[in-house]
Amino acid sequence: MSATLRHPGTVLTDHVFSVPLDHGRPDGERIEVYAREVVAAGKEHQDDLPWLLFLQGGPGHGAPRPVGPDSWLGTALRHYRVLLLDQRGTGRSTPVNRQSLALRGGAPEQAAYLARFRADAIVQDAEAVRRSLLGEGHRWSTLGQSFGGFCTLTYLSHAPEGLEACFVTGGLPGLRAGAEDVYRAAYPRVAAKNTAHYVRYPQDVEAVHRIVEHLSGHEVRLPDGSPLTVERFQTVGMLLGQTSGSDALHYLLEDAWIRGASGPELSDTFLEAVRAQVSLAGSPLFAALHEPIYAQRSVSPLGTRWAAHRVRDEFPAFDAARALAAGEPVALTGEMIYPWMFDTDPALIPLREAAHLLAERGDWPDLYDAERLSANEVPVYAAVYHDDMYVDTAHSLATARAVARVRTWVTDEWEHDGLRVSQGKVLDRLTGMARGEV
């Protein structure tokens, strides 16, 4: 029986669905997928209220845990009954992490299991949920944030009959962009975000230099006991793609040093803040599947092969040792996953061999059907952020031109997290476009 509770202004209902691990084998192993239904208080018995499925960014992140009609949810609840889906492997769905994967067997078995957690399987889960909640013949709309937008294009490719309309924020993928293409486009964007940060906070050039010099000559460990190397520290640049990320990075650097018994050393406050940024204990699927979400056999038949790591050599600005020697700012990295992460992060070390197998796999099914998308009949309203650090704007606009019935709103008012931080303004704009008001 579904559990229901009330928050201020909202009514929340739990749903758990049993779905095949492999939808191609419906009689095989099954897993659970969890979803939370949210409706505005007073509308819970309004049977004709249309449904909006929220597809979270990631991969590997659970859906938001609402405490009321705040942020974009308040805007959505004016028009929809919202379903917050914990995509397979995340949140309250059957979990995937070092603990559960240990039950699968060796690295080959673990890699085969992980391969079942991409967008194509997520879409098939969503269709099973739609049929269970709405019944055959009833459609719903979707809101896809970031990776959720990637899932949306997969949905439109493989099951558009279930969709009424689609809203996408910061998540139109390159339909024919392999992992190398993605990172070759990403590094210059990340470099530009670094430049903008150092213009805003010029004192941080020296602050980062000092930290990098210290890490280069000392063994430093985070509070969880894992090593903090120069390359691992550089990944705090992930912050720079968020609306207030540059400020957050500056404040993190402010707390870097404390005087200890043997002189200046990196403070526990700083090291814990860095651990919170670089640890992937809460989202191991983000690391294991981050490059495979771009893998399609017709695009990259040789596999992804740690594309971010290989392509990085083409951009010497991210070579910290070279930058120090030249007296130049050290560039921090962004949304990249590197093989050494599976040697340093305690949550990822047990996944190391499986991750390497996934990186070498070349027979990934295609996620997008270009021919079907060119004849798409489902209206799509997409916010494309002009300076998005995580998703390439040029790739997004090329996709918008290739897919029928896509209408874009290109804006530099918000960063990639605009849906979350705009207090509903981003979603309000998109739903207004759908209603013909904009």
CB 84 within 8 A of CB 72: no
Q: Exactly one of 146, 279, 283, 422 is catalytic; which is it?
A: 146
Q: Exactly one of 27, 47, 48, 363 is catalytic; which is it?
A: 363
List phi, psi (to 5°) of 351: -95, 5
Cis ω on the peptide bond leading into residue 316 (within 30° of 0)?
no
HEC secondary structure over the chain: CCCEEEECCEEEEEEEEEEECCCCCCCCCEEEEEEEEEEECCCCCCCCCCEEEEECCCCCCCCCCCCCCCHHHHHHHCCCEEEEEECCECCCCCECCHHHHHHHCCHHHHHHHHCCCCHHHHHHHHHHHHHHHHCCCCCEEEEEECHHHHHHHHHHHHCHHHEEEEEEECCCCCCCCCHHHHHHHHHHHHHHHHHHHHHHCCHHHHHHHHHHHHHHHCCCECCCCCECCHHHHHHHHHHHHCCCHHHHHHHHHHCCEEEECCEEEECHHHHHHHHHHHCCCCCHHHHHHCCHHHCCCCCCCCCCCCHHHHHHCCCHHHCHHHHHHHCCCCCCCCCCCCCCHHHHCCCCHHHHHHHHHHHHCCCCCCCCCHHHHHCCCCCEEEEEECCCCCCCHHHHHHHHHHCCCEEEEEECCCCCCHHHHCCCHHHHHHHHHHCCCC
Q: Tell me, yes or no, if 319 is annotated catalytic.
A: no
Q: Exactly one of 125, 290, 416, 417 is catalytic; which is it?
A: 416
Q: Tell me, yes or no, if 416 is annotated catalytic.
A: yes
Q: Tell me, yes or no, if 2 is annotated catalytic.
A: no
Q: Which residues are catalytic?
A: 146, 363, 416
